[in-house]
Structure 1
């Protein structure tokens, strides 16, 4: 399949994405995937933290729990606009990270850089904002694992890890929209409900807005990731199906 711009659907990338999405879906409740789920929860809370700093606030702490819940405790300057930005940055932040991982791994195949960046990010968040043993242990422990993987694993294995993390992060972001924002029992305790208390805009409206934005972003990233540029651009990457493995 070729678009008007000359981009061609890369069947190798599509097959890999479908395989990893299927693995994540089928083994969703497996305890072996819990560390990856906590990693995405950390992306959600990091979105709140980054947005807080951008609007001039301060972050007190970030907390993760073994049941895959999390919280970011921060102080914000007065202003409804700042609150909208910070509360929106959780669900949209995880969607943005999913989109970035899709592009970085499927489109640009950055491999070790992706794991290295994740290693540094977790270490920084753990040292600066973790105030409990579990959160600190998860951040630093996962940081070490990702750093060692980026340093010592073969290129082919690093690529497989990156591809799975990209696919699973996107899947988890979509599941977050479904379970947290569209289940009325959960939505009442979500960021949408908290923002509704501050803005008088109903939680369902924020749920609709965040879902549309998040799914549009992930859809765009998936499209760009699965299409190889048909032109002569130097940014064109070889299809995964014919990539050399070292």
Structure 2
């Protein structure tokens, strides 16, 4: 690719960031939803794709640490798909509560945000928003596996947005949004199963996000698990409606509002 072609491609990306793109055919929206469901439900694939959820989860902790005035020290991502975000500040209070609370809701809410962009036909903007968020996370990643994971995912999104055809970009964008929406609930279920197992084996020595929040707020951990689950389900319902209503022409009043035709 020579310099003129590079400038041309860059100008095209900038133009697409500020304009809308044609919605993909309905079958592509449905097919990417089915593919995302397979990525979430099939265990061998989930062991790999869960890394994406971990990045979003730790990014949620990191964002609220910064928003509440805490000092963000590091993000670590592990090959077993666990992660750790370390921040400095008071070990109690609203800032600590919001920081601890932000992890599990982050993936489904991010999926909802992406669905809103795709529902507004902003496919390129959605892809480049993902690149920007990954770059922001990368700044604080402090281990080799984490750097490789974030760079690899960011490179994939960049390659699709830079070299992919309109159909490829749309398919990848809808797959990503569907995946985050559908993947929001499974970590919550895994969280509760892990809590039950650890409470049975080592009572009083459970250190999940829900149990950390229970110690900070004196609200039982199971209530926080239910809170995370409600957010995941609500994001899936609304986000799924946004993805389906525009591309398929199916009017869903909850998310379509005034775009629904009046009764005949």
Same fold by TM-score, threshold 0.5 exceeded?
Answer: yes
The equivalent of 1:218 in structure 2 is 236
CA offsets, 1:12-61, max 9 Å, x none?
A: 57733542244324544138x71x32122111100001001111111100
Distance 1:19 1:141 in 2: 24
Matched, 1:145 2:163: no
Structure 1 residue 186 displacement after superposition: 6.0
SS at match of 2:219: coil
Q: C-alpha offsets along residues 143-167 of structure 1, whole Å, 9 cap, x if unaligned? A: 2222122111111111111111111
Matched, 1:112 2:127: no
TM superposition shift of 1:109: 3.3
Q: 1:186 to 1:148 in 2, by over 3 A?
A: farther
2:181 touches 2:235 (CA, 8 Å); kept in 1? no
CA drift at 1:99: 1.2
- 2:51 equivalent in structure 1: 38
Q: Which residue of 2 aligns with 1:84?
A: 97
Question: Closer, same or farther in 2 for the Cα pair 1:137/1:82, shift >3 Å?
Answer: same
The residue that corresponds to 2:5 in the other structure is: none
Distance 1:123 1:191, change over 3 A: same
Q: 1:115 to 1:64 in 2, by over 3 A?
A: same
Residue aligned with 1:227, SS: helix
Deviations 1:174-205 (A, max 9, x none): 10111113552268332001111222221111
CA spacing shift, 1:131–1:11, aligned 2, 3 Å: closer
Give the structure 1 partner of residue 31 of structure 2: 16
The 3-state SS of whatever aligns with 1:101 is helix
* Residues 181 and 207, structure 1, Cα contact 8 Å, conserved in 2: yes
Give the 5 Å matches for 1:147-226.
Answer: 147-183=158-194, 184-185=196-197, 188-226=206-244
Q: Structure 1 length normalisation: TM-score?
A: 0.78
- For 1:25 and 1:49, the matched residues in 2 are separated by 24
Partner-residue secondary structure (3-state), 2:105: helix
> Is the 1:21–1:167 contact (alpha carbons within 8 Å) kept by the matching residues of 2?
yes
Root mean square deviation of aligned Cα: 2.8
Who wins on radius of gyration, i.e. which is larger? 2
In structure 2, C-alpha distance between the alignment counterparts of 1:99 and 1:186, rounded to whole Å: 32
In the TM superposition, what is the alpha-carbon distance from 1:72 to its structure 2 partner?
A: 0.6
**Relative to structure 2, which stretch is displaced further, 131-140 or 67-76?**
131-140
Q: 1:23 to 1:211 in 2, by over 3 A?
A: closer
The one-character-per-residue Cα deviations of 1:187-224 (angstroms, maximum 9, x if unpaired) are 83320011112222211111112222332232222223
CA contact (8 A) 1:109 1:159 kept: no
Q: Which segment drifts farther, 75-84 or 200-209? A: 75-84
Alignment length (residue pairs): 221
Equivalent residue, structure 2, for 1:29: 44
- 2:132 & 2:36 partners in 1: Cα distance? 26
Instruction: Give unpaired runs (5+ residues) of structure 2.
Output: 1-24, 200-205, 260-264
Matched, 1:75 2:88: yes
